Amino acid sequence: MHIAEGVLSVPVLAAGAATTFVGIWIGLRRLEENRLILAAVLAATFFVGSLIHVPLGPSSVHLLLNGLAGLLLGWIAFPVLFVGLLLQAVLFQFGGLLVLGVNTCTVALPAVLCGCLLRALLARGGRTALVAGFAAGAGAVLGTALLTALALTLTDQGFLVAAKLVVAAHLPLAAVEGLVAMFAVGFLGRTRPDLLAGRMTSAGEAMPC
Amino acid sequence: MFMQITELSNGYSRLLSRVDPRAKLLAAGLCMVCVSAIRGFDAALAALLFALVLTFAAGVRLQNAVLRLAPANVFFLVLGFVLGLSYPGKTPEGIPWISLDGLELALRIAVKGNTLLLVFMAMVCTSSVPALSHALQALGLPRKLTLLLAFTHGQVFLVRDEFHRLHRAALARGFSPRCTMHTYRTYAVLLGQTVLRSLSRAERIHGAMLLRGFTGRFHTLASPALGWREILLVAALGMVPVLICLHDRWPL
């Protein structure tokens, strides 16, 4: 979800940028130098994944994949999603430079929260992991929609109807994201269970949450 | 199904595309802050005119600019529709359900939004991502973050090709995307497979980079100098929105 340039007020832009700054700072502290390539490859995967249009009813939606990123990367999802959104702004003009802080905050903050809350359930495997995958996928998208609506409403009370529509429009996407994240967790659980236990390399080194 | 990735920095040799990305980033930041502070509609239109001139000076093709502005303008159109029907304020005589204030606000947002995007396109997107990554590092962004940006940009095209291959293989096996559980499971498996292949590629790349003596720094062959002429040019460009903004806030 990208809020376009020119919509939000300066205080909201500043608050979003400050939150993103803190998130990126924590994420970078947890990202070790020798995992940069790993994080970059996953960032590229989430970037590419978010460009896929998945059928939904008579139309199609593009995935956010922030829930899955939060589950796999924890706080490192903040710099990873920031880089993805910056690339989307540069390559497609989705979002923009001034609104990048708010857009990162709305996408990455729910992702990190879902990741940190639900990661422990992934390690249990089986149905519990699938439920955690669905909850992370759907919850992160709902969180993104709610934060976007909050940013619009804090800018101007007159945006309240638009903010409600943003949340309503994200409900079907949340369901699709939940399903995709659930199936992806199931697939990763069968092929690389170590990933769901918080280990991102075959060497068994952990990506801390 | 899949969005094409194209870069504005390819093949442009106009004046602005040769300017040092650091100077362009600073000027873009200044311009964008000034444009976002504009309140009046006349000043917003003047800034839009300036942004159009800037886009022409940067050598961005009209077709490219229109295509890139389209998604934001769809958003502005929807916002205008919603605000026009729901924003509190004046209504035209005989049509009480339309808000003139809402329509005016939506129009101002659209003009400012397009201006900001055009400035961003002309000043930032005409530089390559590796050059931007260098410039951001020179401007004080953490090295890890700029390296992450450069690495990610390098990997995006490989991962995209990887995903395309997997998707084509699925289509060849009779996969037809529909709004069904099978479709979502297939996309999830394609994504999961891409993640797995990406992880093993990451390990190979990391090993190869260490073998080639990577010490955490990228060196670029293209190193445009930040000379006085460039600084003056960018300062002159940056001054225009500053003056527009000042005139908007404190008219003579």
> Each residue of A7-20: pLDDT tens digit?
999 899 999 999 99
Q: Which residues contact B53 (CB under 8 A, 6 or more apart)?
A: none
Mutate to test the interface with A, among B156, B160, B178 (most CBs of A within 10 A): B156
- What is the tens place of the pLDDT at every residue in A72-114? 899 999 999 999 999 999 988 888 889 999 999 999 999 999 9
- Put simply, the answer to whether A200 touches B199 (Cβ < 8 Å) is yes
Helices (H), B58-177: 62-86, 100-123, 129-138, 143-172
Q: What is the mean pLDDT of residues B36-44?
A: 89
Q: Which residues of B touch A202 (CB under 8 A)?
A: 199-200, 203
Q: What is the pLDDT of residue B195?
A: 86
CA A9, B126, B70, B178 dihedral sign is: negative
Average pLDDT over residues A173-191: 93
Q: Which residue would you say has higher pLDDT here, A202 or A87?
A: A87
Chain B nearest C-alpha distance from A120 (Å)? 20
Where do the domains of chain A lie, and which CATH numbers do they carry? 10-196 (1.10.1760.20)
Q: How confident is the model at residue A130 (pLDDT cuts 50, 70, 90)?
A: very high
| Mean pLDDT of the B18-23 span | 82
Query: Which tokens belong to A136?
Result: 């992370």
Q: Which residues on B lie below 8 Å from A92 (Cβ)?
A: 3, 5, 68, 71
**Are residues B199 and A36, on separate chains, in Cβ contact within 8 Å?**
no
Which of B68, B102, B195 lies nearest to residue A93, judging by beta carbons?
B68
Residues 42-61 of B with CB under 8 A from A: none
Element holding B229 (H helix, E strand)? helix B228-249
Q: B124 — phi, psi (to 5°)?
A: -110, -50
Contact between chains at B188 and A183 (C-beta distance less than 8 A): yes
Is 70 exceeded by the pLDDT of residue A208?
Answer: no
Residue in the block written with tokens 């399903």: A179
Q: Can you tell me whether residue B102 is helix, strand or coil? A: helix
Q: Could you please report the per-residue DSSP string of B143-169?
A: HHHHHHHHHHHHHHHHHHHHHHHHHHH
Residues B27 and B237: their CA atoms lie apart, in Å, by: 7
pLDDT digits (tens, 9 = 90+) for B177-233: 888 999 999 999 999 999 888 888 888 888 888 898 887 776 666 665 677 877 887
CB nearest B132 (choices: A13, A79, A90): A90
Q: What is the pLDDT of residue B12?
A: 54
The answer to whether B135 touches B123, Cβ cutoff 8 Å, is no
Joined tokens for residue B3: 């969005």
- Which DSSP string do the residues of A144-205 spell out, in sequence order? HHHHHHHHHHHH-GGGHHHHHHHHHHHHHHHHHHHHHHHHHHHHHHHH-HHHHTTB-STT--
ipTM for this prediction: 0.90
CB contact under 8 A, A97 and B120: yes
What is the C-alpha to C-alpha distance for residues B97 and A154, in angstroms, rounded to an integer?
24
Rounded CA-CA distance A1/B227 in Å is: 40
Please check whether residue A173 is in contact with residue A64, taking contact to mean a CB–CB distance below 8 angstroms: yes
Take residue B115 and report the two structure tokens written for it: 């201006």
3-state secondary structure of A59: strand
Chain A CB within 8 Å of residue B192 CB: yes
Phi, psi of A180 (to 5 degrees): -65, -45
Contact A54, A180 (CB under 8 A): yes
Residue with tokens 């832009």: A13
Match 């800018």 to its residue by tokens: A155
Q: What is the pLDDT of residues B61-104, one digit of tens each?
A: 888 889 999 989 999 999 999 999 989 888 888 888 889 999 99
Give the SS3 label for residue B113. helix
What integer best gives the mean pLDDT of chain A? 89
pLDDT at res. B15: 67
pLDDT at A141: 96
d(CA A143, CA A135): 11
Are B120 and A186 in contact (CB < 8 Å)? no
CA distance A41 to A52: 17
Contact A45 B148 (CB under 8 A): no
* Closest alpha carbon within chain B to A40: B152
The per-residue pLDDT for B97 is: 83
pLDDT in the model for residue B192: 92
Please state the rounded mean pLDDT for residues A204-208: 49
pLDDT at A198 over 70: no
Q: Is a pLDDT exceeding 50 seen at residue A204? A: no
How many interchain CB pairs under 8 A, A with B? Answer: 236
Residue B156, min C-alpha distance to chain A (Å): 5
Asked if B152 lies within 8 A of A87 by C-beta distance, the reply is yes
User: What rounded mean pLDDT belongs to chain B?
Assistant: 86
